């Protein structure tokens, strides 16, 4: 009836011709919408790339070109010597890189295993107090880090773990934090319980179900968790700052704050930018190859790491 | 099907292979964590023979009339009492120095935010071989947070530099040793310091540290000579020959400013500058008992208005956002006529701020309104209350604060020492540096160092609140009066809670 009303009074057109015209218009509309979307996204993409571009450009400038006003987007003569200077002149870059890799990998392994195990317990095992315990665990996310900093520091001091990597690594081996557990638990809840049931009926233990059934199906979430752990630890400044004292144990995040001209608060921005790019490369490469998992992690948990 | 975990369930259904795998994985992790843990206590090395008193830094030349007290021979192993759980701010003095037969190696932790002290540490360990130094530099950003956490947790270095802006706030928490007894024992005359140590490192009549250098006036004026010549502006007076008024400064700025090619000055924005201006205009930061902020007084508002007008009305200086883009080294591009820097008491810092003399520049004292006032920072070295090596911490403090050889190095490399500054500056081999620093010193003697810095209750918050409110006036979001009223209201709340 609607169709009839629309065509009433119009010159009689064949159904096929009407359909073809409608399809043509739709194609044009879709193409236009797609063009508009891409235009907006590309523009936003470029805007978001400006800081990164500025960073790369500054890393190749002499210091007095970095803050020229109005800004000079490209270096007059690219100065690649900034990179060796950034690596060699301020702190032992490769030692700090090694320290950072060491801590990051250790945290990554610990968080992936213990968070998934804890999450499995919360998702699959029924025990008295599970709900309140889960809420209690989640509530730790609401406590600001700074509130617990001094008590935690005192704890590690009494354990004589200051100026070691243990305070940075150990927390990853006791559950890995509320966010990680929450992320994994949400993902495990989406896995059909029937798979567990079948394994249990076949005689598989609880740990067997976790290891043989749940873990393989959780690979996307584990990848997301690993990326979050990597990013968080790689860029962490405050914990290494508080717990590490001697320079030979510092990580890159601390090193990046040490780009000051001798004894001043003046920063050689060109060298700092060069170092920042070097430090950025591993997370960037990781994100490039694993962005699907990263985004999936955000979608599953509704949170950003 | 619903699972209910029961006692023994896990055990009953775990396979032996699974159990062994779990144990193996756990065991693999143990060595790693152990490797990350603290190193085992070092085997005590044979204690070196005590250094005879005659071997004390004889490297120092025979003192001229104004020569400082040389560091005495290494004192014996400390007998300082271990502080109790609720330590008193002024622990009793260590037992009188008695040279022990032998010294055990001790470790002294030294905390700083500048990684420039290695040559002094080498000098120190050479002089005191029984002291092993654990050098703990940190980035400046985050240093205070780290130090406060360490002090609260009892894990601070034994001796450390304290930001002057934070000193009064921290000393109230009774985390430092008072050193009056050591100062008296080693006959250090505090009057030989060019700045009052009680004011800069004291609290309630006790001294809690010694200043390493002269206060660093962040509002010192550095000017670009070619730009002044080009604009036909007379150069500001040299240090020791008076100073410009802020009105002179504005006239010069207007003559030089031709944006975007040249700016008369970089922004006056910044805590050290506004406080200097307010005090110079007859204003005050707080009332006498530090319960009320007075930054909305007519004198303070007039000073703030001057700063804001320089940017918004006269456009002598860039806006805060333009300033951020320019950065503090913008002066080195040669496009800025004047800059206010902390360069006055440090030759190398002056060179750094001016792009190592790419720009032909010299310095002049801070301009003033009604009276000349400068506020400055003189960061003290203090000793943690929980230290077990108080005597060694004191040896280090003396090296960086009153020792001949130490201060020679400090003058040439870091800052004019607060202790007998002229004596050390005159020994500098570089003629230009000598002239530069003596000029700065001659002026420093004439000026009235701000009697109050940021106060004692919440210095960090006061500066950040004021800066943020003044930025709104800079951006035109508030009038200066509104910004002043708002910042006073916010600061008063902080003072009430402190």
CB contact under 8 A, B349 and A263: yes
Top pLDDT among A148 and B55 is at A148
Instruction: Estimate to the nearest angstrom the gap between the alpha carbon of B331 and the chain centroid.
Output: 23
Chain B residues near residue A238 by CB distance under 8 angstroms: 142, 145
d(CA B296, CA B302): 9
CB contact under 8 A, B329 and A67: yes
Take residue B373 and report the two structure tokens written for it.
């006032």
Task: Dump pLDDT digits (tens) for B271-282.
Answer: 668 888 898 899
d(CA B267, CA B315): 10
Q: Residue A75: pLDDT band by 50, 70, 90 thresholds?
A: confident
Q: Where are the alpha helices (DSSP H) in B268-312?
A: 271-280, 298-312
How many other C-beta atoms lie within 10 A of the C-beta of residue A16? 8
Nearest chain B CA: its distance from A294 CA (Å): 27
Chain A residues near residue B136 by CB distance under 8 angstroms: 245-247
State mean pLDDT over A31-57.
92
Q: Does B318 touch chain A (CB under 8 A)?
A: yes
Take residue B92 and report the two structure tokens written for it.
């009793």
Whether residue B169 is predicted with pLDDT greater than 90 in this model: the reply is no
Task: Dump pLDDT digits (tens) for B189-218.
Answer: 999 988 888 878 888 899 999 988 776 665
- Name the residue of chain A whose CA is nearest to B40's CA: A160
Chain B residues near residue A245 by CB distance under 8 angstroms: 109, 111, 134, 136, 157
Top pLDDT among B442 and B118 is at B118
B32-36, B60-64, B172-176, B177-181: lowest mean pLDDT where?
B60-64
What is the bridge-based pairing of β-strands B220-224 and B210-211?
A: unpaired
Nearest chain B CA: its distance from A293 CA (Å): 27
CB contact under 8 A, A237 and B142: yes
CATH number of B103-215+378-419: 3.40.190.10
Nearest chain A CA: its distance from B302 CA (Å): 30
Q: Residue B65: pLDDT band by 50, 70, 90 thresholds?
A: very low
- Which residue(s) pair with B338 in the sheet? B223, B265
How many other C-beta atoms lie within 10 A of the C-beta of residue B169? 21
Chain A residues near residue B146 by CB distance under 8 angstroms: 241-242
For A272, the 3-state DSSP assignment is: helix
Instruction: Look at residues B267, B320, B243 and name the one whose alpha carbon lies nearest to residue B475.
Output: B320
- Name the residue of chain B whose CA is nearest to A162's CA: B38
Q: Does B213 touch chain A (CB under 8 A)?
A: no
The answer for residues whose C-beta is within 8 angstroms of residue B187's C-beta and 6 or more apart is B69
Burial of B301: CB neighbours in 10 Å, binned 0-12, 13-18, 19+: buried
How many CA atoms does the CB half-sphere of A62 hold within 13 Å? 7
CB contact under 8 A, B352 and A262: yes
Mean of pLDDT over chain B? 75
Residue keyed to tokens 């044009």: A28
Take residue B167 and report the two structure tokens written for it.
């000193």
Q: Residue B491: pLDDT band by 50, 70, 90 thresholds?
A: very high
d(CA A92, CA A249): 10
Q: What is the pLDDT of residue A241?
A: 94
Substitution target in B20, B33, B143 with the highest count of A β-carbons within 10 Å is B33
Q: Does B320 touch chain A (CB under 8 A)?
A: no
Q: What is the pLDDT of residue A96?
A: 94
Whether residue B163 is predicted with pLDDT greater than 60 in this model: the reply is yes
Mean of pLDDT over chain A? 86
d(CA A66, CA A60): 9
* ipTM value: 0.79
Q: Does B150 touch chain A (CB under 8 A)?
A: yes
- Note the residue count of chain A: 305
Q: What is the pLDDT of residue A10?
A: 52
CB contact at 8 A, B189 and B207: no
Instruction: Look at residues B423, B492, B430 and name the one whose alpha carbon lies nearest to residue B455.
Output: B492
CB contact at 8 A, A163 and A189: no
Whether residue A88 is predicted with pLDDT greater than 80 in this model: the reply is yes
How many inter-chain contacts (A to B, CB under 8 Å) are there?
154
Cα of first residue to Cα of last residue in chain A, in angstroms, is 54
Q: Residue B358: pLDDT band by 50, 70, 90 thresholds?
A: low
Q: Does A208 touch chain B (CB under 8 A)?
A: yes
CB contact under 8 A, A70 and B260: yes
The answer for residues whose C-beta is within 8 angstroms of residue B264's C-beta and 6 or more apart is B252, B253, B254, B255, B256, B257, B316, B317, B337, B338
Interface list for B 357-396 with A (CB within 8 A): 358
Chain A residues near residue B344 by CB distance under 8 angstroms: none
CB contact at 8 A, A203 and A196: no
Q: What is the pLDDT of residue B63?
A: 35
d(CA A96, CA B21): 34
Q: What is the pLDDT of residue B94?
A: 42
CB contact under 8 A, B10 and A206: yes
Chain A residues near residue B145 by CB distance under 8 angstroms: 238, 241-242
d(CA B165, CA B170): 10
Whether residue B7 is predicted with pLDDT greater than 70 in this model: the reply is no
**Where, residue-wise, is CATH 3.40.190.10 in chain B?**
103-215+378-419, 220-375+449-497
State mean pLDDT over A240-252.
93
We find that the CATH architecture of domain B220-375+449-497 is 3-Layer(aba) Sandwich (3.40)
Task: Dump pLDDT digits (tens) for A181-218.
Answer: 998 999 899 889 889 889 989 888 888 999 999 999 88
CB contact under 8 A, B330 and A69: yes
Take residue B11 and report the two structure tokens written for it.
């055990």
Chain A residues near residue B37 by CB distance under 8 angstroms: 160-161, 164, 166
Q: What is the pLDDT of residue B49?
A: 38
From residue B167, give the alpha-carbon distance in Å to each of B31, B171, B273, B290. Answer: 42, 6, 20, 16
For B245, the 3-state DSSP assignment is: strand
How many other C-beta atoms lie within 10 A of the C-beta of residue A78? 12
Chain A residues near residue B137 by CB distance under 8 angstroms: 247, 258
The answer for residues whose C-beta is within 8 angstroms of residue A22's C-beta and 6 or more apart is none
d(CA B139, CA A240): 12
Top pLDDT among B284 and B116 is at B284
- Name the residue of chain A whose CA is nearest to B143's CA: A241
The answer for residues whose C-beta is within 8 angstroms of residue B367's C-beta and 6 or more apart is B221, B236, B243, B244, B245, B246, B248, B249
Task: Dump pLDDT digits (tens) for B311-321.
Answer: 889 989 877 66
């Amino acid at each position: 009836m609607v169709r009839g009303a629309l065509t009433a009074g119009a010159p009689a057109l064949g159904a096929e011709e009407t359909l073809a015209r409608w399809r043509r218009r739709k194609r044009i509309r879709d193409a236009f919408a797609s063009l508009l979307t891409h235009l907006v996204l590309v523009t936003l993409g470029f805007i978001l790339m400006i800081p990164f571009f500025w960073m790369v450009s500054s890393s190749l400038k002499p210091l007095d070109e970095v803050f020229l006003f109005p800004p000079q987007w490209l270096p007059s003569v690219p100065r690649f010597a900034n990179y060796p200077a950034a690596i060699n002149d301020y702190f032992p870059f490769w030692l700090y890189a090694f320290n950072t890799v060491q801590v990051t990998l250790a945290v990554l392994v610990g968080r992936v295993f213990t968070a998934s195990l804890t999450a499995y317990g919360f998702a699959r095992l029924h025990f008295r107090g599970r709900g309140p315990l889960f809420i209690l665990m989640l509530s730790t996310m609401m406590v600001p880090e700074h509130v617990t900093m001094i008590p935690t520091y005192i704890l590690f001091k009494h354990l004589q773990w200051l100026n070691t990597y243990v305070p940075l690594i150990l927390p990853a081996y006791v559950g890995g934090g509320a966010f990680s557990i929450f992320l994994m638990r949400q993902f495990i809840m989406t896995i059909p319980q029937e798979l567990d049931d079948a394994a249990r009926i076949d005689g598989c233990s609880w740990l067997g179900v976790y290891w043989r059934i749940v873990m393989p199906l959780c690979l996307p979430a584990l990848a997301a968790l690993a990326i979050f752990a990597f990013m968080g630890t790689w860029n962490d400044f405050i914990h290494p700052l508080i717990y590490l004292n001697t320079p030979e144990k510092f990580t890159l995040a601390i090193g990046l704050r040490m780009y000051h001209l001798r004894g001043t608060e003046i920063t050689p921005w060109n060298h700092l930018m060069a170092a920042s790019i070097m430090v950025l490369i591993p997370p960037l490469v990781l994100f490039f190859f694993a962005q699907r998992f990263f985004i999936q992690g955000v979608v599953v948990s509704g949170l950003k790491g | 099907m619903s699972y209910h975990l029961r006692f023994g369930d896990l055990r009953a259904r775990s396979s032996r292979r699974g159990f062994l795998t779990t144990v193996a994985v756990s065991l693999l992790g143990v060595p790693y964590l152990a490797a990350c843990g603290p190193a085992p206590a070092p085997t005590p090395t044979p204690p070196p023979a005590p250094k005879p008193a005659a071997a004390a830094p004889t490297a120092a030349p025979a003192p001229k009339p104004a020569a400082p007290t040389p560091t005495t021979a290494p004192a014996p192993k400390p007998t300082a009492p271990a502080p109790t759980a609720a330590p008193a701010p002024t622990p009793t003095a260590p037992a009188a120095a008695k040279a022990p037969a032998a010294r055990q190696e001790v470790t002294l932790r030294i905390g700083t935010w500048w990684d420039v002290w290695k040559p002094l540490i080498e000098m120190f360990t050479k002089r005191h071989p029984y002291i092993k130094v654990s050098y703990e530099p940190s980035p400046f950003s985050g240093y205070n947070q780290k130090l406060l956490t360490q002090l609260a947790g009892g894990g601070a270095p034994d001796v450390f530099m304290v930001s002057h802006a934070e000193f009064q706030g921290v000393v109230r928490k009774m985390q430092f040793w008072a050193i009056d007894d050591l100062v008296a024992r080693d006959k250090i005359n505090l009057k030989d310091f060019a700045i009052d140590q009680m004011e800069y490192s004291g609290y309630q009549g006790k001294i809690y540290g010694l200043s390493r250098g002269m206060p660093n006036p962040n509002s010192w004026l550095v000017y670009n000579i070619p730009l002044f010549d080009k604009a036909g502006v007379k150069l500001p007076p040299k240090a020791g020959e008076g100073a410009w008024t802020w009105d002179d400064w504005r006239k010069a700025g207007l003559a030089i400013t031709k944006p975007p090619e040249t700016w008369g000055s970089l922004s006056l924005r910044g805590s050290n500058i506004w406080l200097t201006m307010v005090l110079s205009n007859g204003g005050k930061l707080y009332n006498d008992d530090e319960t009320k902020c007075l930054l909305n007084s007519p004198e303070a508002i007039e000073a703030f208005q001057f700063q804001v007008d320089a940017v918004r009305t006269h456009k002598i200086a860039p806006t805060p956002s333009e300033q951020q883009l320019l950065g503090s080294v913008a002066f080195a591009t040669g496009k800025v006529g004047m800059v206010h820097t902390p360069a006055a008491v440090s030759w190398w810092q002056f060179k750094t701020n001016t792009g190592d003399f790419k720009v032909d520049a010299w310095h002049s004292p801070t301009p003033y309104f009604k009276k000349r006032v400068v506020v400055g920072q003189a960061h003290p070295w203090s000793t943690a209350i929980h230290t077990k090596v108080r005597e060694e911490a004191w040896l280090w403090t003396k090296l960086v604060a009153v020792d001949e050889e130490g201060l020679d190095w400090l003058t040439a490399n870091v800052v004019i020492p607060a202790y007998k500054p002229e004596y050390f500056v005159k020994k500098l081999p570089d003629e230009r540096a000598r002239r530069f620093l003596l000029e700065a010193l001659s002026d420093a003697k004439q000026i009235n160092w701000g009697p109050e810095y940021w106060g004692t209750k919440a210095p960090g918050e006061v500066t950040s609140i004021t800066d943020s409110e003044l930025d709104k006036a800079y951006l035109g979001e508030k009038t200066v009066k509104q910004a002043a009223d708002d910042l006073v209201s916010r600061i008063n709340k902080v003072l009430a809670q402190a």
